[in-house]
Amino acid sequence: MGYKVAVVGATGNVGREILDILAERAFPADEVVALASRRSQGQDVSFGDKILKVKALDTYDFSDTDICLMSAGGETSKEWSPRIGSQGCVVIDNSSAFRYDPDVPLIVPEVNADAVVGFSRKNIIANPNCSTAQLVVALKPLHDAATIKRVVVATYQSVSGAGKDAMDELFNQTRSVFTAGEVKVEKFTKRIAFNVIPHIDVFMEDGYTKEEWKMVAETKKMLDPKIKLTATAVRVPVFIGHAEAVNVEFERPISPEEATAILRSAPGVMVVDKRENGGYITPHEAAGEDATYVSRIRADSTIDNGLSFWCVSDNLRKGAALNAVQIAEVLINRKLLNKAKRAA
**315 marked among binding-site residues:** yes
Considering the chain, what percentage of its residues have pLDDT values greater than 90? 96
Is 112 flagged in the annotation as binding? no
Contacts made by residues 211-217, CB under 8 angstroms, sequence distance 24+: 211/129, 211/131, 211/155, 214/96, 214/99, 214/128, 214/129, 214/131, 214/132, 215/129, 215/131, 215/132, 215/135, 215/153, 215/155, 217/99, 217/100
Q: pLDDT tens for residues 6-46?
A: 999 999 999 999 999 999 999 999 999 999 999 999 999 99
Length of the chain: 344
Given a cut of 90, whether residue 57 has pLDDT beyond it is yes
- The predicted-structure confidence for 148-192, as pLDDT tens digits, reads as follows 999 999 999 999 999 999 999 999 999 999 999 999 999 999 999
Burial class (CB within 10 angstroms; exposed 0-12, middle 13-18, buried 19+) of 194 = exposed
Helix axes 210-222, 130-146, angle to 10 degrees: 40
How confident is the model at residue 337, as a pLDDT?
87
**Torsion of the alpha carbons at 285, 288, 289 and 292, rounded to the nearest 10:** 70
Full set of structural domains in the chain with CATH: 3-127+321-334 (3.40.50.720), 131-158+196-313 (3.30.360.10)
On whether 323 is known to bind a ligand per the annotation, the reply is no
Q: Tell me the catalytic residues.
A: 130, 242
- Report the mean per-residue pLDDT for the chain: 96
Distance CA 235, CA 196 (A): 6
Query: Would you state the pLDDT for residue 47?
Result: 96
- 219 labelled binding-site residue: no
pLDDT value for 215: 98
120 is in an annotated binding site: no
11 a known binding residue?
A: yes
Q: Are 56 and 36 in contact (CB under 8 A)?
A: yes
Mean pLDDT value across residues 225-247: 98
Query: Using 50, 70 and 90 to split pLDDT, how confident is the model at 2?
Result: confident
pLDDT at 342: 46
Mean pLDDT over 56-85 rounds to 95
